[in-house]
Structure 1
Amino acid sequence: MGDYRASSDQETASAVLASSPNAVVALDRDQTVLVWNLAAERLFGWTAEEVLGRRVPIVPGELTAEHNAVLERVRTGGQVSLRTKRVRSDGTVLDLRVDISALRQGSSVAGYVCVHHLAEADEAAGQRMARRARLVRRLTDVVGDINAELELPAVLDRISASLTELTGADAGGFVLIEGDLLRLVSTYQLPDSLRGTVTDLHTSLVGKLLRTGKTVMLESQGLDELVWAELSGLHTIALGLAAVGGRPYGALYALFARRKPGHVELELLELLAGHAGIAVGNAMAYQDAVRQRAHERAIFDASADGIAVLDGAGRVLRWNPAAAEITAMSADSVIGGRPPFPVPDPGEKLTFQLDTGRWLDVVSARIEETGELVVDFRDVSTAKALEEAKDLFLATTSHELRTPITIVRGFASTLASRWDKLSDDERRSAVHTIAERSRSLAQLMDHLLLGARAGAEEPAVRVETFDLAERISAATLGLPVLSDRHRVEVRVPDGLPLVRGDALATDIVLGQLLENAFKYSPEGGLIGVQAWAEDGTVIVVVDDEGVGIAARDRERIFDRFVQADSGDRRRFGGVGLGLYIVRSLARAQGGDVSAHPRPGGGTRMRLVMGRAPTIGSDTPMR
């Protein structure tokens, strides 16, 4: 068994020596040849049979002393490597590098092992290594440049250009995998018209590469049928797969027309393709983030609600256009400071009134990742005013109803319990009071019903041609005797044009305007009514010399449940529906009502109605 193992080890050693690309020569201490492998035969020209057991004259005479000194150094100090000269059997002098080490048997040196290889091959290998190192350093710079770009077209163009620089290719391109298709998205040293070319993935070189399970491939067959044949003289394509997270993203094509790619070029192509996949993935993620940010910005800017973003210290970072409009504070004046309202905790709502009088509903939500606070607020002034008006309406209406009902109930109780004890005049006076208060109640209910209908939808009217002068005359007839403190003047020109509208609705409008004129001029004075034609319309104005209307209230008084100020209800009564009904009825007829200051004091109410054409017909309208 021991003999077999020794024999096996000897055969293995012989095989190793025979396979070595370097010339291996073993010498004993007298420099007699013990081992001379096949590479030594090829290098020096002597066969093993010719040199075994002999001293071979491969050391030039002038280097004998140096050679002996080197062997002595090896014997006493270990391995020596040097560049030197040796002689072939034909007398040719070889420039070699020799690595010499001691051949030991136990603790003693029995000889020397010399490994020879041509110095030129050593230099070529060194040059290859240096070139590879330079290219790897350049690859590192290229990868840094590529990853510095975030715009996808620029990334792809940099990849294609860097590919030719690193591999020495004559042209290059990058394709993206889109489902079952390939799209050529970037080229270098090729016609721009090729960009956008689409082909089937499965029949392409990329498909072939995917089926091999490798990441790089060389192809030199059937290139004339490919789009890459636009490169004159194309003979070889090197292909590298670009993948992100193990998923194929695309591929790099290096096109060669003048030189052949080698292992270094394929290695660089593989490395660049891997980094290209990452760079493309980063660029596409960046584009997605830019699109997402653009969408968010559009929503932020277009929102009808005010939106603010606050930092962790509560300072404004962003302020959208609606926020500027609602608060009357520009972004420049707010950013960097505190918002002009308190901010509630997330999940809570705060209602706050600004110095401008506007009411806001404010809510907030925290962004946990950044610690920022998003604040949303909207103008609820109208809803707030309506809420307050409704509350006031209920209080006022209850007051308006309570007074006549109390009187009616009191007089009715008196009549029921003391009928026989009352005189005819007293009974007649009590019944008259009950009738008057009942009329007031009916009028109040009419106003409430009209107000409810007007608020629900545009009131239904019938548009017809009628004589507005007659309606003004009927509405003002008997007014002078209603009050001894008021003077009534009516000026309607003869031939006032007919108008289009609803005669009954117009009666209500005129009656309410006249009633307000008396009501809001308690000290008396002139009540003036005028009418005239103007630019296809007929204008009616009702003037009074009363308390007037503040400029800020001239439009607001036409809202439901609103009077000029809160004190008017206590002073003049009413539920604030009269002018709301007036404007609703006027506009339903195609006209309008507006409030203006009267020259000299008081109020002028202006009613505009459409002038009737020469030939008209009655038409229902809503």
Structure 2
Amino acid sequence: MTGVQSVHDPIARAVIECAADAIVAVDERSRVTVWNPAAERMFGWTAQEVLGRLSPIVPDELMAEHNAVQERLLTRREGDGGQISIATRRFHRDGRLIDVLIDTSLLKDRDGGLLGWVGVYHPVEDDEAAQHHTAERARLVRRLNDIVADLNAELDLGTVLDRITGALIELTGADAGGFVRIEGDRLRLVSMSGLPERMRGTTADLRSSLVGELLRSGRTVRLATGEQRLGDLIWSELEGLHTVALGLSFLQNKPYGALYALFSGRKVGHTELELLELLAGHAGVAVGNAVAYAEVVRQRAHERAVIDSSADGIAVLDRDGLVRQWNPAAHALTGIPPEEAVGRRLPFELPKVGEMLTLPLESGVWLNVLAAEIEETGELVVDFRDVTEAKALEEAKDLFLATTSHELRTPVTVVQGYASTLTHRWDELADADRRAAVATIADRAQSLGRLVEHLLRGARAGADELAVTIETFDLAKVLEGVVAGFRSLSDLHRVELEIADDLPPARGDALATDIVVGQLLENAFKYSPDGGRVLVTAHREGGELVVGVVDEGIGIAPGDHERIFERFVQGEAGDRRRFGGVGLGLYIVKRLTEAQGGQISAHPASPAEDGRTGTRMCLRLAVADDAQ
């Protein structure tokens, strides 16, 4: 059986068969495809024994070196010489190790397709110098293997770069070294040894640097001597520097940076450049691992920041439905800290994936809950937000609609009834009855108009659309007009007005104040159904004008003095069936008062002579600037 497979050219076959040096080729799976007679003589195995099988000549402890050479050839650029030469050892069939010098190249077909690798083996002279060189070479390779293993186990980028620089000094014997990273059109020194610390982080122009020249050459390593004019960032920082060895490092097949080995003492040879090239190749892998890990860490930190800063509660559940992440908003919404939530089930019902669920907590908080699945891990992300305010607004809206329909239905029914009576029985009714019916219609229509006006004002107030004009106005005149209008509305109530003689002008909105005082008087009438005195007062207290409206009615229940100013709220003593209304009057009063910079409050009135207490409403407005 011939020792050459797939070599069809008779001349090429004859050259391989007759070569004095051992020639061994392997395919992409490291199976032997060429094993010439010289290889049989050097290693002891016949071609028939090794063809189509894994090469038996590489010792286990040198397998990493063997693989590194093959990998480096794959990543080399065109113009790099096409081969790597190393001095190493290989097995003989009888078990002994023999010293050889190997020239390894890529093996390609005519179209450039990869067939494998071919090595030409030269015997090394069996003298003391050659043995020392081979032993030293083997030691360095073993050390390189240890360094590579150490680099690949480290994931912090800064530590990886520092270890690469330290390994560079150890393996090449350089007097100083550094790693520069390519950042656009600049170089940055990110790791160094044997150079001043002040240089760390300094930058240089890429184009005029050694790295720039190396990139333009298409090669991955080079030597530069002191006679060359080189404007490099570290060229002149080592006294006595005579040679720089430079090797490119690649990340995802793109130049990432370069290793510098600076020599000011010993001479540099082929071995140092070869070790630098191998280390640079492994550095790219280690840097790639560290960069990928840093990106994962950065992405996780970003995701964690998004989760932690979210206003929504977010929980991540594992496949068993147990909480694994619990953000600060989840703690705030439920009151459950992370240490109590993690490892347990959710404190509320879990909705189906993609469906929204609205549910209450024991605290009274209402939540909208939505769940989504992470298909890759089977985990669930549960998002929940506080919708208590929206829920309360929805309930208030329902109450508003129910109450409004009731309040509107009563006057409308009365108007419809009397209008129908007049339409069908006009001639049968006496003149006094007809007048009474028309008066009732007018009265109910007026009530209906006031109700609609309150609803519209309440809607505008809730939407923050109450517009006021702040100016100086005569508060006494406004109060006199309002009181005069109310005195004729009830035979049961006696409206009195007491205004201090020295009352200064007010600063605010006269029309808004008119509406406020009118609403206060209307409430005083409504909640004192048995009549009595209604007293309106006005006086100055410091920089404020104080308007009081005091009635002798049923008063306000304890605890309701603040609530009565909310929308759709009446005091517990206010029976809707008895007094009517939708609870918007005092809400509008508060909104109009605050819009002009004033304050409104409710208090129990001092007991009257007959024992009735009633209510005192207190309106405070600012004194006009020119009256301060």
> What TM-score do the two structures reach when normalised by structure 1?
0.71
Q: From 132, 153, 159, give the equivalent of 2:164.
A: 159
Q: From 605, 612, 622, give the equivalent of 2:624.
A: 612
Q: Deviations over 1:471-508 (max 9, x none)?
A: 44554556699475x88786654423321122222121
Question: Quick one: percent identity of the two aligned structures?
Answer: 60
**CA spacing shift, 1:402–1:80, aligned 2, 3 Å:** closer
Note the C-alpha offset of 1:293.
3.2
Pick which of 447-456 and 597-606 moved more. 597-606
User: 1:171 — aligned with what?
Assistant: 176
Matches within 5 A, 1:163-202: 163-202=168-207
CA distance in 2, matches of 1:301, 1:80: 64
User: 1:283 — aligned with what?
Assistant: 290
User: 1:334 — aligned with what?
Assistant: 341
User: 1:452 — aligned with what?
Assistant: 459
CA distance in 2, matches of 1:264, 1:603: 103
User: 1:580 — aligned with what?
Assistant: 587
Structure 2 gaps of 5+ residues are: 1-13, 22-37, 39-92, 97-122, 608-612
Matched, 1:322 2:329: yes
CA distance in 1, matches of 2:617, 2:450: 22
Note the C-alpha offset of 1:170.
0.5
Paired amino acid for 1:205: L
Note the C-alpha offset of 1:239.
1.5
CA contact (8 A) 1:234 1:257 kept: yes
User: 1:35 — aligned with what?
Assistant: none
**CA spacing shift, 1:249–1:14, aligned 2, 3 Å:** closer
**The structure with more radius of gyration:** 1
CA distance in 2, matches of 1:162, 1:504: 87
Note the C-alpha offset of 1:257.
1.4
CA distance in 1, matches of 2:480, 2:132: 117
CA distance in 2, matches of 1:451, 1:572: 19
CA distance in 2, matches of 1:430, 1:508: 30
> What TM-score do the two structures reach when normalised by structure 2?
0.71
User: 1:548 — aligned with what?
Assistant: 556
User: 1:94 — aligned with what?
Assistant: none
Paired amino acid for 2:158: P
Q: From 310, 314, 328, give the equivalent of 1:307.
A: 314
Matched, 1:140 2:145: yes
CA distance in 2, matches of 1:605, 1:317: 55
CA contact (8 A) 1:468 1:498 kept: yes
Note the C-alpha offset of 1:335.
3.0
**CA spacing shift, 1:13–1:344, aligned 2, 3 Å:** closer
CA contact (8 A) 2:555 2:604 kept: no
* SS at structure 2 position matched to 1:351: strand
Paired amino acid for 2:423: A
* SS at structure 2 position matched to 1:155: helix
CA distance in 1, matches of 2:502, 2:144: 98
Note the C-alpha offset of 1:351.
1.2
Paired amino acid for 1:548: I
* SS at structure 2 position matched to 1:229: coil
CA contact (8 A) 1:524 1:546 kept: no
* SS at structure 2 position matched to 1:366: strand
CA distance in 2, matches of 1:290, 1:80: 49
User: 1:463 — aligned with what?
Assistant: 470
CA contact (8 A) 2:124 2:130 kept: no
CA contact (8 A) 1:549 1:602 kept: no
**CA spacing shift, 1:184–1:416, aligned 2, 3 Å:** same
Matches within 5 A, 1:200-279: 200-223=205-228, 225=230, 226=232, 227-279=234-286
Note the C-alpha offset of 1:569.
4.0
User: 2:412 — aligned with what?
Assistant: 405
Structure 1 gaps of 5+ residues are: 1-8, 21-77, 82-115, 617-622
CA distance in 2, matches of 1:288, 1:353: 40
Q: From 417, 422, 425, give the equivalent of 2:429.
A: 422
Q: From 358, 368, 373, give the equivalent of 2:375.
A: 368
* SS at structure 2 position matched to 1:548: coil
Note the C-alpha offset of 1:554.
5.8
Matched, 1:437 2:444: yes
User: 2:503 — aligned with what?
Assistant: 496
Q: Deviations over 1:81-127 (max 9, x none)?
A: 9xxxxxxxxxxxxxxxxxxxxxxxxxxxxxxxxxx9986x2x54444
